[in-house]
Chain A
Amino acid sequence: MAAAAAQQHRHPKRRRLFLSPSPSPSPTPTLVAPPLVTLADELLFLVLDRVAQADPRALKSFALASRACHAAESRHRRVVRPLRPDLLPAALARYPCATRLDLSLCARVPDAALASAVSSSCSALRAVDLSRSRGFGAAGVTALAASCPGLADLDLSNGVDLGDAAAAEVGRARGLRRLSLARWKPLTDMGLGCVAVVCTELRELSLKWCLGVSDLGIQLLALKCRKLTSLDLSYTMITKDSFPAIMKLPNLQELTLVGCIGIDDDALDSLDKECSKSLQVLDMSQCQNITDVGVSSILKSVPNLLELDLSYCCPVTPSMVRSFQKIPKLQTLKLEGCKFMAYALKAIGTSCVSLRELSLSKCSGVMDTELSLAVSRLKNLLKLDITCCRNITDVSLAAITSSCTSLISLRMESCSRVSSGALQLIGKHCSHLEELDLTDSDLDDEGLKALARCSKLSSLKIGICLKIGDEGLTHIGRSCPKLRDIDLYRCGGLSDDGIIQIAQGCPMLECINLSYCTEITDRSLISLSKCAKLNTLEIRGCPMITSTGLSEIAMGCRLLSKLDIKKCFEINDVGMLYLSQFSHSLRQINLSYCSVTDIGLLSLSSISGLQNMTIVHLAGITPNGLTATLMVCGCLTKVKVHEAFKSMMPAHMIKNVEARGCVFQWIDKPFKVEVEPCDVWKQQSQDVLVR
């Protein structure tokens, strides 16, 4: 209160919240307590921020309390994310102070909707995200640019139909600082030129997949947009002609050149020494025409590089690795999918002493001796990714755990030759771990017990670890309270007890995968319903789960947005009714093989934000019910339905749904009820690998 008074004193003109005496009893009397009257907006907004953090829907209640609360809530909201484009004018009128318009939930935004919406609102918008939307063209962009003079951040990614005309209209938004034109396939140099000449304030620009853009446009861009700090030219046709111009941008910090086949050794060699002192992040992954010589030659031009990504690029040779000495500040090195020549990995240890993050995922030629030597020098390593380095054994892991004790992230999925005994070393030595991926490993309960030392653990992926049981999970549940994400996919040895321990010990849990943990019952779900932050629940192939458990989840986990209940044969319409009643945040659901009928499906359509549905092999679904559901769900973007329905549903209905931006995926898989046991499944996957 004192603080509020002080604030008020400093800013006498600040608007305050005057609660009008309302004759009707307010639904939230606690918020209408007298002190609220004197609260300045800034303080009130802080309060509202916290309320929203706990439960986003609480703001709705607050707004309903009184007119003043309603007005305050209107002023408070900064981000507007409408469910449907036709709500856009109303939403923007309601929230005049909104600075960010996120249309990622609207699959189809027609020009008219965009024009009417934006023109009716005030021009406070600074950021607009249309990356998930289609259906608009140059006219919509014109309206947007014309009515939002302060527009600084515009994401038009995935505008596969947008071209030069739309780009020319983007050029009207002169104050743009961040712009994404990713996947604008028809875009050519002309459109890019229009943007480059006008939007000279651009800091970040993405031209990913703009296949029509050539060196001319990029050269012009480099000439006109001198303030660029981040540029994504992935999969463009940039060549040697414009590469030096880009590299000479004085402020460029981040350059992404994924899959640029026009960049070759010649281009890399054409740069002057210390050409770009500002560049910090360089991503040249999947540039097929680069060799180790080219990499060595470019490094002389970028002395201050912090991050280098050469994934799927070229074989790693010792000479190339030695050239990393030219970039002594290098912190992050990603060499995913590279082939390591002899002595190359060893050289990383000597050449990249300041390395914090190293990714050797899916690399071939990573051997125990070299990896051990390398990591023994990399004492500062924080993140290590050795996913699918199938040749490494306990020797490597011993070296890693003994030298890199400060690791916060270790990903070693499918390092199948590492024994369970060695996996215990992880927990014993690397107690700072926050992220650990031991999927498909030999981990057992002892290993999990050792991991109990890692109290900061937030993400734990131990899928396909058949040896772990409830006891091990109990250790995790007791000692890892910060756990947000746990993956227990196909951990066949687990039962309800272990899950209950996790649910009780990890209140921050947001994401849990229990797929094919066939022993799981409703008890687990009932306990998990206490995890209020849970937003992703995958219980595919858990045949013992019923609607009872699901209803508990629906009531307890109100933020649930992704739900996979495929092959939970017992779940029926009752579960759907609960979901429709409580899970208003649900975005994605997989209902395949459930016992849901038309009634349950239709009830789901009351979830207004539902975007993604998979409805395959449901015995109780009729074409009429499916059609009705699809017609009612206005936000659908993707539906997977069995192909048989294609002919049974009215064609014009399908067209209608598609016209709203929904994509149909017609599935033609055989009906297969039985689920093979986890060990059989794992053996099958191993057999594939050997072959």
Chain B
Amino acid sequence: MEGRMTSLEATMKASSTMASSMVRNADPDQQTLRSNSVEQFYFPRPGQSLPGIPPFFGPPSSSLYLPNDNEAKFGNQFESNPSQNTDWDPQAIVSNLTFLEQKIKQVKDIVQSMNNRENQVAGGSSELAAKQQLITADLTSIIIQLISTAGSLLPSMKNPLLSSNPAVRQLGNTLGSPMGFGMNANQRPSVDSKTDIPDTGKTSDYDELMNNLNTAQDERDELIKCPNPCGGEGSEPTPMEDHDVKESDDGGEGENLPPGSYVVLQLEKEEILAPHTHFCLICGKGFKRDANLRMHMRGHGDEYKTPAALAKPTKDSGADHAPVTRYSCPFVGCKRNKEHKKFQPLKTILCVKNHYKRSHCDKSYTCSRCNTKKFSVIADLKTHEKHCGRDKWLCSCGTTFSRKDKLFGHVALFQGHTPALPMEDVKVSEASEQPHDSEPMNEMARSMVYSFPSSSSDGISNLDMKMADDVRGYFSPLSFDPCFGALDDFTRPGFDISENPFSFLPSGSCSYGQQNGDS
């Protein structure tokens, strides 16, 4: 029990630290800084799964206030916090929990007020819409990330939470707050909170949400967490070059629809990353079950309420009326994003999903056989595992082939490339280093969290970052690469992006350097 308390305590302290940084950057126009700082706390090490990091329950609620104009409120809220966090007494925990409770309530109020305001202004002011978009993006991303990060510790967290607060019990039961999650698209800003479920459409949403959250936990439990969406968000406003990686396999290639001849839908990344198989052709919302989708379709209008439309899969009926729909990647700077100069839309939602995961997500699925190949789309992993055998045909340039004749074709084609012998010893050392890879990091992460002084949050966060970076550099698989390169005399051009252990750099860590340098 004592251990649980300490971890919870650490969580609380972190949340308060978080909140302080939030307040500092609470200007709504500076979403960049805000989201960056959020990311700083949640994901000090992109590309690494961090089961040792305790979940933060404070930040999501505090961040929920950010879109609102009453920043002073947060400041006041926060003023009381530092004193509470100086030591680890249960009182502090209780106060934190109440703090949480308040936040949740406030969030609910805010959302409801926004909902009312939207209803009043029927035309829908653009300003409000933009604000909503920002809010929803922030809230949902923070929540889902919190949940996914916190999921592993939840069982241990559950009891203290339940004992302290019914609201948190709700949180614990559903693995996170349901609020705000449904606000994934502009069309659906209204989301109910707490336990009462007003209508059936909302029920479906709610179910979806619960499913999402559960799945998120499952995923995290399997160490297949995707922290990168947040990293992607964090780096959104930074000037970036095109991310034209793996265009061809995302679909929608070679299609030259004139701009304007189709409707561009842009799903939010949470929607993309949710494990949906049924998508609304109107708004793009995804569902796990077709029945839920049909229920959802009723919200779009009366024509979808007919028994016929409800009986059969709505996709067919929707395809008749709907204009040509194409999809945009939510990642700003991506060629698939609608704001890109040479925007190339994605054809289907499946394309969006695969594109987003492949291009902007961490490759968190590691092949269990070779322990080197990583994938962000599980189907890719399965395809790979079909061919990933003992016989791995390797070229001196680092490219691998599943078939020997392919390797020899490659060697025949490129001057100076030679077949490279499988370096059994190198592989063995790499494999043996794998467990060490994560163990010390966990240890370090834990100790760092525990030694969090509450006062100078900024300095600590930076320190945290630096150490984390060092750790990553030290234990990265790249540190074994030189042995390989030295043996075959050839530098490794980036033939296979998936082989590059730093392939996540553009989306994630570039912002870290800036942060460290700035602050």
Binding site for B on A (CB under 8 A): 164-165, 168, 171, 189-191, 193-194, 197-198, 216-217, 219-220, 223-224
Contacts and interface: CB of A to CB of B under 8 A. Distances in A.
A165 B426 CA distance: 14
Contacts of A190: 419-421
Given A171-B418, A189-B404, 7 more contacts: A189-B419, A194-B418, A197-B411, A197-B418, A220-B408, A220-B411, A223-B412
A216 B416 CA distance: 17
Interface string B399-425: 000001100100110001111110000
28 contacts: A164-B421, A165-B421, A168-B418, A171-B418, A189-B419, A190-B419, A190-B420, A190-B421, A191-B421, A193-B408, A193-B419, A194-B418, A194-B419, A194-B421, A197-B411, A197-B416, A197-B417, A197-B418, A197-B419, A198-B418, A216-B404, A216-B405, A216-B408, A219-B408, A219-B412, A220-B411, A223-B412, A224-B412
A216 B405 CA distance: 7
B177 to A, nearest CB: 57
Contacts of B408: 189, 193, 216-217, 219-220
Nearest to B488: A168
Contacts of A165: 421
A217 B419 CA distance: 10
Nearest to A216: B408
B421 A220 contact: no
Contacts of B404: 189, 216
Contacts of A191: 421
A41 B513 CA distance: 69
Interface residues of B, number: 11
Q: Which of B411, B416, B420 has the most CB of A within 10 A?
A: B411
A669 B419 CA distance: 51
A214 to B, nearest CB: 9
Interface string B414-442: 00111111000000000000000000000
Classify the interface of chain B: helix, strand, loop or mixed: mixed
B43 to A, nearest CB: 41
A344 B517 CA distance: 91
Contacts of A164: 421
Contacts of A194: 418-419, 421
A226 B418 CA distance: 16
B391 to A, nearest CB: 11
Contacts of B421: 164-165, 168, 190-191, 194
A190 B408 CA distance: 9
A194 B419 CA distance: 6
Contacts, number: 36
Contacts of B412: 219-220, 223-224
Of the candidates B404, B411, B419, B420, the one having the most CB atoms from chain A within 10 angstroms of its own CB is: B419
Main secondary structure of the interface of A (DSSP, over half): helix
A193 B405 contact: no
Interface in B70-107: none
A146 to B, nearest CB: 12
Q: What are the 5 A-B residue pairs with the smallest beta carbon separation, nearest first?
A: A193-B419, A197-B418, A190-B419, A216-B408, A194-B418
Nearest to B416: A197
Interface string B233-264: 00000000000000000000000000000000
Contacts of B417: 197
Nearest to B422: A190
Contacts of B411: 193, 197, 220
A223 B411 CA distance: 10
A186 to B, nearest CB: 12
Nearest to B412: A223
A168 to B, nearest CB: 6
Nearest to B419: A193
A191 B411 CA distance: 13
Nearest to A164: B421
B483 to A, nearest CB: 15
A168, A191, A224: most-surrounded residue (chain B CB, <10 A): A168
A113 B411 CA distance: 35
Nearest to B418: A197
B255 to A, nearest CB: 39
B415 to A, nearest CB: 9
B250 to A, nearest CB: 33
Interface in B351-407: 404-405
A198 B418 CA distance: 8
B428 to A, nearest CB: 15
A224 B412 CA distance: 8
A219 B411 CA distance: 11
Nearest to A171: B418
A330 B217 CA distance: 81
A587 to B, nearest CB: 38
A224 B419 CA distance: 13
From B405, B408, B416, B417, name the one whose CB has the most chain A CB atoms within 10 angstroms.
B408
B244 to A, nearest CB: 32
Nearest to A138: B421
Nearest to A222: B412
A379 to B, nearest CB: 49
Contacts of B416: 197
Contacts of A216: 404-405, 408
Contacts of A223: 412
Interface in B462-515: none
Contacts of A197: 411, 416-419
A168 B395 CA distance: 12
B412 to A, nearest CB: 5
Nearest to A191: B421
A193 B407 CA distance: 10
A139 to B, nearest CB: 13
A217 B409 CA distance: 10
A142 to B, nearest CB: 11
Contacts of B405: 216
Most buried by A among B417, B420, B421: B421
B159 to A, nearest CB: 58
Contacts of A198: 418
A181 B418 CA distance: 18
B419 to A, nearest CB: 4
Nearest to A223: B412
Contacts of A193: 408, 411, 418-419
A595 B323 CA distance: 110
Nearest to B489: A172
Contacts of B420: 190
Contacts of A168: 418, 421
Contacts of A171: 418
A419 B421 CA distance: 64
Interface in B295-339: none
A368 B491 CA distance: 70
A270 B426 CA distance: 44
A226 to B, nearest CB: 13
A161 to B, nearest CB: 16
B47 to A, nearest CB: 32
A224 B411 CA distance: 10
Interface string B162-206: 000000000000000000000000000000000000000000000
A408 B421 CA distance: 52
A532 B405 CA distance: 60
Nearest to A195: B418
A41 to B, nearest CB: 39
A389 to B, nearest CB: 47
A190 B411 CA distance: 11
Contacts of B419: 189-190, 193-194, 197
Contacts of A220: 408, 411-412
B235 to A, nearest CB: 41
Contacts of A217: 408
A220 B421 CA distance: 16
A164 B488 CA distance: 13
A663 to B, nearest CB: 31
A217 B417 CA distance: 14
A355 to B, nearest CB: 40
A103 B77 CA distance: 87
